[in-house]
Amino acid sequence: MNNNLNMAAPKKRLIKSLETLPDNLLSLIEEQYPNGYKASITRIQNAKNEPSFVFPLETEDAVYLVKVPAARNSEGEYKVGIREKEFEEPEEENETDDDFANNDDDD
């Protein structure tokens, strides 16, 4: 009896930078994280023992850890850059600001 028939092929495991992801994976982020991926970011250590900040993204044939840019501040804490322009709502313009310019009380 062949037991290999029931075993699915293992998915590739890859680490990719958010800035270099192709458009199809960026679209997949929007689908898998409609409210943003910030809550899914975790900190991992690379081979040089440096921190990286990642979140998972799964496709049919691979599991990606998507690396998010981060900068270290003077206190040694990290500020993680969140690229969520796809998820942001456009800002509404406030039309009442122009009311002061049209004031004709020059009696």
Q: Which helix (H) or strand (E) holds 29?
A: helix 23-32
Whether the Cβ atoms of residue 55 and residue 66 lie closer than 8 Å to each other: yes
DSSP code of residue 82? P
Phi, psi torsion values for 28, nearest 5 degrees: -65, -35
Greater model confidence, 86 or 17: 17
pTM: 0.65
Q: What is the pLDDT of residues 66-85, one digit of tens each?
A: 999 988 888 878 888 765 44
Give the start-to-end residue ranges of the domains of the chain: 10-81
Identify which of 1-5, 47-51, 71-75, 97-101 has the greatest average pLDDT. Answer: 47-51
